[in-house]
């Protein structure tokens, strides 16, 4: 036997001895690269949530590599199923062809990360907490690519191991949980593996467990910035500079720090005119405060409530002179075994500067996990200190149950107060998944009268006791002839009392959430409220008795068809002292026109009529107004190229309020008509921004932003249309800002 006869065998052995090729993220799925990956083909419908096999063939590959977690999708899409060509900006919400990779790196059901890739190459990312709550304010650094052919389209992703803090493994491996899904833009159909759904109370915990090698990556990223701002109203300029630092030496430790952060208006908040006693919640888009913030999530069923509300930091200063100036902030995330910890600290400058600190600990026990959170704020200008301590427990006793409970208390010390203020709050939230689409939900909440979370957190109101029971049924397998793909009905009965035993209201609610086969959606809701009291209107100067009332709301959204997309909202309601004797209404229509796949223009008009609008005038005096509101909302989104985008945002609002009757609230809670002078009034407000962004490198940007705005309130009335037209003349602020930031990875 000669050596030549062994050549083919020698060649084969040599090939097998070579390590598998690294994944080249180019959107083209090379079988050689993906050899050894987990191959997923059993995608099931989860929108509608029928569990039936996918209408279109979908395949995915998942592979852990030293460079990160790699995932590929192959999406068959014949010519009979239209493909969406729309180009989208980061963290888009348009209904387009897309795929999602969601990962719980610790596998404990507490925090997940969502990575989205559209068929046109657009991306989005978000943090998932509380099982099914998504926050897309976070932006991560990861790789992606797409490709397209006559039979469908493909996507590849590579998520580096430094993307998030993650605890260590055991025996050289770690167990993470993964969820993959695909959305067909033209129909709204979502197919997934495993067949989990964020429409259920349990989502993160239902991801598929995967054991992968214990890879780890370190990263040191330094992002300096420089910005210049010119105030055209004040006639002066200002320059600023600072730096953000991200250091992850191992999977079990991560540090994020910022020095002299710049929070210039590269992101504009929506216009808000709020005359109520409830503070408006505004989400945070500042990079330092969104980077791996999921561990610090401590929420309750009350809307937007949380123990750490990062908009407090750098928010309105305690001396009333503008916003707080942040010197520095620091955040540590890490893990020791099955326990995770986080430390947060921020310091504002000046005599009115505040000091913020938070500590977070979490421990996982398979079917349940328990955590604690401690926050502390020192407010030197007010000579006030506020401490909040909370314990949270999440329990999954079986496949059908999900129970979340919270107990927390506050302790506030401030001179002039009667002793140290302290009180407790507690919430329980239980969901039970039944057969044939039926579910039940129970929620109970107690917030003590002296509970104070709003020094560092957010709570819409304290002094509250609330409970509800809700029954729901999902219809996910409707006849093919139906224009609906699914319907989800909910029936709820609730009661709300304050902490003094006074009934705010009893409520019965019925709602329906529907998905249509053409990708559109509908939502309808009817609330019937009993008589009760309003204990916040007069800001502590009396409790006002109110009659029964109701509201009926409808929303319809149609994704892009041809060159047009539509959103419509309508509501009819009763309110105030008139109860059901006077009906108010609201209507908003906002069409969007697509000049091309890259250029979208939208413009909408909304109107609200409040026939018995009760507004506090001081003391126990209340004005009952006939209020009319008109708002104009318009904008332009232009994806100029892969690295450039232009956004124009315009909001204008006008309010006309004419007094019907002035009232005094007597000690019994009755409204007594009086002749006290109360002025009619009008409000005009404007917000306008033009923002250009150029991506120099991942998470490195050049911004050029022009912004203008204003607010005016007058003690006389102006017809809403005239007020809306006049709002375009407002010019309280006019600024041009240029900001450059560049991320260096070392």
Give the model confidence (pLDDT) of 113-161 as tens digits: 999 999 999 999 999 988 998 988 888 899 999 999 999 999 999 999 9
pLDDT, position 232: 93
Question: What contacts 43, CB < 8 A, 6 or more positions away?
Answer: 53, 54, 58, 60, 180, 181, 182, 191, 192, 193
Question: What contacts 602, CB < 8 A, 6 or more positions away?
Answer: 590, 591, 592, 593, 633, 634, 635, 636
Residue identified by tokens 């504009």 is: 268
Beta-strand relationship, 644-665 and 532-534: unpaired
Task: Count other Cβ atoms within 10 Å, centred on residue 108.
Answer: 21
Give the model confidence (pLDDT) of 502-559 as tens digits: 999 999 999 999 999 999 999 999 999 999 999 999 999 999 999 999 999 999 999 9
Helix (H, G, I), strand (E, B) or coil at 564: strand
Quick one: average pLDDT of 443-465?
A: 96
C-beta separation of 645 from 610 below 8 A: no
C-beta separation of 412 from 421 below 8 A: yes
Determine which helix (DSSP H) or strand (DSSP E) holds 720, and give its type and residue range: helix 720-727
Where residue 2 falls among pLDDT bands split at 50, 70, 90? very low
State the Cα–Cα distance between residues 139 and 693, nearest whole angstrom. Answer: 15
Question: What contacts 153, CB < 8 A, 6 or more positions away?
Answer: 75, 77, 83, 97, 119, 146, 147
C-beta separation of 353 from 364 below 8 A: no
Tokens for 482, please give them.
């139906």
Question: What contacts 412, CB < 8 A, 6 or more positions away?
Answer: 384, 385, 386, 387, 420, 421, 422, 452, 455
- Residue 41, preceding peptide bond in cis (omega within 30° of 0): no
Give the model confidence (pLDDT) of 271-317 as tens digits: 788 899 999 998 888 888 887 788 899 999 988 899 999 999 998 99
Helix (H, G, I), strand (E, B) or coil at 80: coil
The DSSP result for 383-397, as a single string, is: TEEEEEEEEEEEE--
pLDDT, position 347: 95
The DSSP result for 543-591, as a single string, is: -EEE--EEEEEEEEEEEEETTEEEEEEEEEEEETTTEEEEEEEEEEEEE
Quick one: average pLDDT of 703-721?
A: 94
State the Cα–Cα distance between residues 557 and 93, nearest whole angstrom. Answer: 12
Q: What are phi and psi of 594, to 5 degrees?
A: -105, 105
Where residue 170 falls among pLDDT bands split at 50, 70, 90? confident
pLDDT, position 264: 53
Task: Count other Cβ atoms within 10 Å, centred on residue 732.
Answer: 12
Give the model confidence (pLDDT) of 347-370 as tens digits: 999 999 999 999 999 998 888 999
The DSSP letter of residue 16 is H
Residue 14 has pLDDT above 80, yes or no: no
pLDDT, position 1: 34
3-state helix, strand, coil in the chain (%, to 5): 5, 55, 40
pLDDT, position 9: 36
State the Cα–Cα distance between residues 113 and 115, nearest whole angstrom. Answer: 7
State the Cα–Cα distance between residues 271 and 223, nearest whole angstrom. Answer: 31
Residue 19 has pLDDT above 60, yes or no: no
Strand order in the sheet with 143-149: 38-40, 58-65, 68-76, 152-159, 143-149
The DSSP letter of residue 170 is B
Give the model confidence (pLDDT) of 207-230 as tens digits: 999 999 999 899 999 999 999 999
State the Cα–Cα distance between residues 698 and 494, nearest whole angstrom. Answer: 48
Tokens for 332, please give them.
């540590």
Task: Count other Cβ atoms within 10 Å, centred on residue 501.
Answer: 7
Where residue 415 falls among pLDDT bands split at 50, 70, 90? confident
HEC per residue, 172-192:
CEEEEEEEEEEECCCCCCEEE
Give the model confidence (pLDDT) of 567-623 as tens digits: 999 999 999 999 999 999 999 999 999 999 999 999 999 999 999 999 999 999 999
- Average of per-residue pLDDT values in the chain: 92
Pick from 85, 154, 121: nearest CA to 598 = 85
Burial, 80: exposed, middle or buried (Cβ in 10 Å; 0-12, 13-18, 19+)? Answer: exposed
Determine which helix (DSSP H) or strand (DSSP E) holds 683, and give its type and residue range: strand 681-697
Quick one: average pLDDT of 382-396?
A: 95
Tokens for 185, please give them.
């833009």
Determine which helix (DSSP H) or strand (DSSP E) holds 586, and give its type and residue range: strand 579-594
Residue 500 has pLDDT above 60, yes or no: yes
Q: Which fold has domain 20-213?
A: Immunoglobulin-like (2.60.40)
**How many residues are listed for the chain in this entry?**
746
State the Cα–Cα distance between residues 460 and 453, nearest whole angstrom. Answer: 10
C-beta separation of 635 from 650 below 8 A: yes
Residue 4 has pLDDT above 80, yes or no: no
Tokens for 673, please give them.
């008509």
State the Cα–Cα distance between residues 716 and 701, nearest whole angstrom. Answer: 46
Instruction: Provide the greatest CA pair distance for the chain.
Output: 117
Region at 36 (left for phi over 0; alpha for psi -120 to 50; beta for the rest) = left
Determine which helix (DSSP H) or strand (DSSP E) holds 133, and give its type and residue range: strand 133-135
C-beta separation of 743 from 222 below 8 A: yes
C-beta separation of 372 from 389 below 8 A: yes
Domain ranges of the chain: 20-213, 536-746
pLDDT, position 8: 37
Helix (H, G, I), strand (E, B) or coil at 105: coil
Question: Looking at per-residue confidence, does 265 or 682 come out higher?
Answer: 682
Task: Count other Cβ atoms within 10 Å, centred on residue 11.
Answer: 10
C-beta separation of 576 from 546 below 8 A: yes
pLDDT, position 420: 67
Tokens for 580, please give them.
């059901």
State the Cα–Cα distance between residues 347 and 328, nearest whole angstrom. Answer: 6
Least confident of 89-93, 234-238, 415-419: 415-419
State the Cα–Cα distance between residues 46 and 201, nearest whole angstrom. Answer: 14
**CA distance to 271, 532, 534, per residue, from 625 (Å):** 22, 20, 17
pLDDT, position 10: 38
């Amino acid at each position: 036997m000669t050596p030549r006869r062994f050549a083919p065998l020698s060649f084969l052995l040599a090939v097998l001895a070579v390590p598998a090729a690294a994944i080249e993220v180019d959107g083209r799925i090379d079988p050689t690269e993906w050899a050894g990956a987990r191959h997923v083909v059993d995608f099931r419908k989860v929108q509608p949530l029928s569990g039936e096999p996918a209408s279109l063939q979908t395949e995915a590959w998942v592979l852990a590599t030293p460079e990160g977690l790699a995932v590929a999708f192959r999406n068959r899409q014949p010519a009979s199923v239209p493909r969406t060509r729309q180009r989208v900006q980061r963290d888009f919400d348009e209904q387009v062809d897309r795929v999602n990779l969601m990962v719980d790196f610790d596998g404990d059901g507490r925090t997940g990360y969502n990575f989205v890739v559209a068929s046109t190459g657009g991306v989005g990312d978000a943090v998932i907490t509380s099982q099914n709550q998504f926050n897309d304010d976070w932006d991560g650094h990861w790789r992606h690519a797409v490709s397209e052919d006559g039979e469908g389209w493909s996507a590849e992703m590579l998520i580096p191991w430094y993307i998030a803090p993650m605890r260590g493994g055991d025996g050289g491996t770690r167990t993470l949980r993964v969820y993959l899904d695909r959305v067909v833009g033209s129909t709204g159909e979502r197919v997934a593996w495993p067949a989990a759904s964020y429409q259920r109370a349990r989502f993160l915990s239902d991801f598929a467990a995967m054991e992968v090698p214990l890879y780890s990556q370190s990263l040191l990223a330094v992002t300096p910035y420089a910005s210049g701002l010119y105030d055209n109203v004040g006639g002066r300029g200002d320059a600023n500079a600072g730096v953000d630092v991200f250091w992850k030496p191992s999977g079990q430790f991560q540090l994020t720090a910022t020095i002299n952060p710049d929070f210039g208006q590269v992101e504009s908040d929506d216009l808000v005119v709020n005359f109520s006693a409830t503070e408006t919640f505004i989400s945070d888009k500042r990079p330092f405060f969104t980077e791996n913030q999921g561990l610090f999530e401590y929420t309750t069923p009350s809307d937007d409530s949380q123990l750490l509300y990062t908009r407090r930091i750098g928010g309105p200063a305690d001396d009333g002179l503008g916003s707080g100036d942040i010197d520095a902030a620091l955040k540590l995330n890490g893990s020791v075994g099955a326990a995770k910890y986080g430390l947060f600290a921020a310091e504002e400058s000046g005599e009115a500067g505040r000091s913020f600190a938070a500590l977070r600990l979490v421990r996982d026990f398979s079917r349940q996990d328990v955590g604690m959170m401690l926050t502390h704020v020192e407010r030197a200008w007010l000579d006030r200190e506020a401490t909040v301590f909370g314990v949270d427990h999440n329990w999954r006793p079986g496949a059908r149950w999900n129970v979340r409970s919270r107990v927390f208390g506050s302790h506030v010390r401030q001179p002039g107060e009667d002793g140290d203020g302290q009180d407790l709050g507690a919430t329980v939230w239980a969901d039970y998944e039944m057969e044939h689409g039926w579910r039940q939900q129970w929620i109970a909440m107690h917030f003590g009268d002296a509970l104070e979370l709003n020094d560092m957190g957010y709570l819409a109101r304290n002094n509250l006791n609330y409970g509800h029971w809700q029954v729901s049924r999902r219809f996910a397998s409707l006849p093919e002839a139906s224009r609906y793909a699914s319907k989800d009905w909910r029936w709820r009965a609730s009661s709300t009392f304050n902490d003094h035993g006074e009934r705010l209201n009893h409520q019965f609610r019925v709602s329906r959430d529907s998905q249509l086969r053409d990708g559109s959606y509908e939502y309808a809701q009817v609330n019937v409220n009993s008589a009760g009291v309003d204990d916040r209107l007069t800001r502590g100067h009396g409790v006002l008795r109110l009659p029964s009332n109701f509201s009926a709301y409808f929303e319809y959204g149609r994704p892009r068809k041809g060159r047009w997309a539509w959103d419509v909202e309508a509501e009819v309601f009763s309110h105030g002292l008139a109860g059901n004797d006077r009906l108010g209404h609201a209507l908003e229509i906002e069409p969007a026109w697509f000049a091309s796949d890259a250029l979208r223009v939208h413009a909408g008009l909304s109107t609200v009529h409040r026939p018995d609008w009760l507004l506090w005038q001081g003391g126990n005096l209340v004005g009952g107004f006939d209020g009319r509101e008109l708002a104009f909302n318009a904008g332009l989104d232009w994806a100029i190229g892969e690295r450039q985008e232009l956004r124009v945002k315009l909001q204008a609002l006008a309010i006309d309020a004419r007094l019907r009757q002035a009232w005094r609230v007597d000690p019994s809670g009755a409204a007594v008509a009086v002749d006290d002078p109360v002025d009619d009034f009008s409000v005009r407000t404007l917000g306008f921004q033009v923002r250009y962004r150029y991506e120099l490198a991942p998470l490195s940007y050049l911004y050029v932003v022009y912004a203008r705005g204003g607010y005016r309130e007058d003690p006389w009335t102006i017809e809403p249309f005239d007020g809306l037209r006049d709002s375009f003349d407002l010019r309280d602020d006019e600024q041009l800002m240029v900001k450059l930031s560049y991320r260096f990875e070392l």
